Amino acid sequence: MSRLKQRLELTWIGKNERPHLEPRILLEDDNLSYYTKKRVTDHDIFDNILIHGDNLLALKALEQEFTGRVKCVFIDPPYNTGSAFEHYDDGVEHSLWLSLMRDRLELLRRLLSEDGSIWITIDDNEAHYLKVLCDEVFGRSNFVANIVWQKAYTANQTAMHISNVHDHILVYAKNTSLFEMGKISRTEDQKAKFKNPDNDTRGPWKAENLSAGKFYAAGQFEIRGPTGLKFLPPKGRYWRCNEEQYFNWLKDGRITFGISGNGRPMLKKFLREMDNGLTATTWWPHEDVGSNKQASIDLKNLLSDIPIFQNPKPEPLISRIIELSSKPGEIILDSFGGSGTTGAVAHKMGRRWIMVELGDHCETHIVPRLYKVIDGEDPGGITETVDWKGGGGFRYYRLAPSLLEKDAWDNWVISKEYDAPKIAQAICKLMGFIYQPDETHYWMQGRSSETDFIYVTTQSLTYEQLAVLAEKVGDERTLLVCCKAFHAKSGAFPNLTIRKIPQSMLRECEWGKDDYSLNVANLPEAHQEPSVTDCPEITTKPRKKKGTKAASIDDLFSGEANK
């Protein structure tokens, strides 16, 4: 009798409600984009990306160019604690929080490379629900670890029951069979534990236990020390080698009995012969990766004239995550930019980075912080550890407004904020074409393959104009024509597919919606599914929205950008 596999899923109000996102284009703000005034090294990276706007729309905007290209995602989402933070409201109804996280996690998974990973900081309030949600999105088999980070090192004496001094870091791979975890570099303190009391020519060494707990039949022999003392493995343990191997190690000077010669036999492990990296554990104390308090002090010292950001993550914490999950030149993404720690650390470590932040602190905190990093004026964090001297740069983008808006008669029309090139770029993205205007063929504005192209115009096209287009396209190519109106029967031109704009686009997505942020007003009515838990109603303030302007995006992460 076969057993039916049951899949455990988390259920919440509104789970089946999914947004139909408009794939917006990005508009560069030249006034905030920033580059070093001179090259510092040959490895300077200039094409990093900072996006100001709703992070769900921003992830959708990145999807076409960056699907499968991001090596590491780090996010520090609002913890849903009910605490009102100065820069964003951290506390929404539990069901809404789960929907918001699910929608973002699904997009982040698509952006990850097949050997990539995602690291999420969270506290006890939602950690266990988030774990089950991530099991659904990434697959339970792709769970890597639940790391415990000591975010504080002193107890809160006013805590109701137990003072919370830790956060969780949930780690998932997109595919565990392809994901390779890096190593933690040995610190100077760790290297200092290797000594050379006997002036061994091979340099500093550390004594390691010669016995092990795993049964090994050949590891049950007697060892005689230099002073005549005899040693057997401790009860329930065995020598980690056979007798022949032991004598080889003894002859090579790799066995020590201590300074007096009366100690138990130990194996000498030489620093020069060991890998410089250590395997990470799931316990990350503040001494190793910093605390919230230290991060706040560093940020205050760096940006003394700006209000302190609540609970920033320390640079050593992000540095360890990046070190374990990526190599120089690979892309790091943080869609909850906060105070900009991820971008600052990734920049110093020679990684490409993308950050998204909706709040005003994108300009008040992140931009000035990155300016100082690029100018080599940030002495804190990991600067000394990685010997950072400055260099590189980033581009600052805003999300374009919705392509469609309603006119005075409640009809959907193309937004007045779009000129012809922006309309073409936006429709290319919407239709799944790469915006790539050809200098010689006006009708080649984008492509989906070597023979399939798109042409966008706000004009009405006559039969004669379409006939000319069909002739230019030829029999070996196809063209999608998006125009205001056309005068031809369907199928009149086999190599042309003709669509009216904006009528043909109305059902493609939600138009005119700019805010998918943590706003409890977005919570749907409870009419489909039972709630997992009874949660109190929490009121949040809607986020502020800003306008956009500037030149359109191009050459994202291209080689040209680094020249």
Task: Note the Cα 340 to chain centre separation in Å.
Answer: 13
pLDDT at position 485: 94
| CA pair distance 236, 213, nearest whole angstrom | 7
Q: Tokens 């063929």 sit at which residue?
A: 441
State the amino acid at position 216 in one-letter form: Y
* 123 closest CA partner among 77, 154, 173: 77
pLDDT at position 191: 87
- Note if the pTM is more than 0.85: no
* 425 closest CA partner among 270, 311, 553, 291: 553
47-56, 57-66, 348-357, 514-523: lowest mean pLDDT where?
A: 514-523
Q: Band the pLDDT of 555: cuts 50, 70, 90.
A: very low
Contact at 8 Å (CB) between 73 and 118? yes
**Torsional sign, CA 518, 520, 525, 530:** positive
**Cα–Cα distance list, 430 to 245, 255, 433 (Å):** 67, 68, 8
pLDDT at position 560: 40
Element (H, E) at 467: helix 463-473
* pLDDT above 70 as % of the chain: 88
| CA pair distance 22, 27, nearest whole angstrom | 15
Q: Does the pLDDT of residue 104 top 90, yes or no?
A: yes
Q: Does the pLDDT of residue 300 top 50, yes or no?
A: yes
326-359 pLDDT, tens digit per residue, is 999 999 999 999 999 999 999 999 999 999 999 8
129-133, 189-193, 325-329, 451-455: lowest mean pLDDT where?
A: 189-193
Q: Band the pLDDT of 1: cuts 50, 70, 90.
A: very low
Q: Band the pLDDT of 531: cuts 50, 70, 90.
A: very low
State the amino acid at position 277 in one-letter form: G
Mean pLDDT of 347-374: 95
Q: Band the pLDDT of 374: cuts 50, 70, 90.
A: very high
435 has which bridge partners?
A: 446
Contact at 8 Å (CB) between 102 and 9? no
Tallying the residues shown for the chain, one arrives at: 563
Q: Does the pLDDT of residue 10 top 90, yes or no?
A: no
116-165 pLDDT, tens digit per residue, is 999 999 999 889 999 999 999 999 999 999 999 999 999 989 888 999 99
pLDDT at position 7: 60
| CA pair distance 418, 123, nearest whole angstrom | 43
Q: Tokens 């794939």 sit at which residue?
A: 23
Q: Does the pLDDT of residue 192 top 50, yes or no?
A: yes
Q: Tokens representing 406?
A: 């309603």
Q: Tokens representing 193?
A: 């534990």
Alpha helices (H) in 260-327, listed in sequence order = 286-289, 292-302, 315-325
pLDDT at position 540: 34
SS3 338: coil
Task: For the chain, give the mean pLDDT.
Answer: 88
Q: Does the pLDDT of residue 547 top 80, yes or no?
A: no
pLDDT at position 307: 74
Upper half-sphere CA count for residue 563 (Cβ side, 13 Å): 4
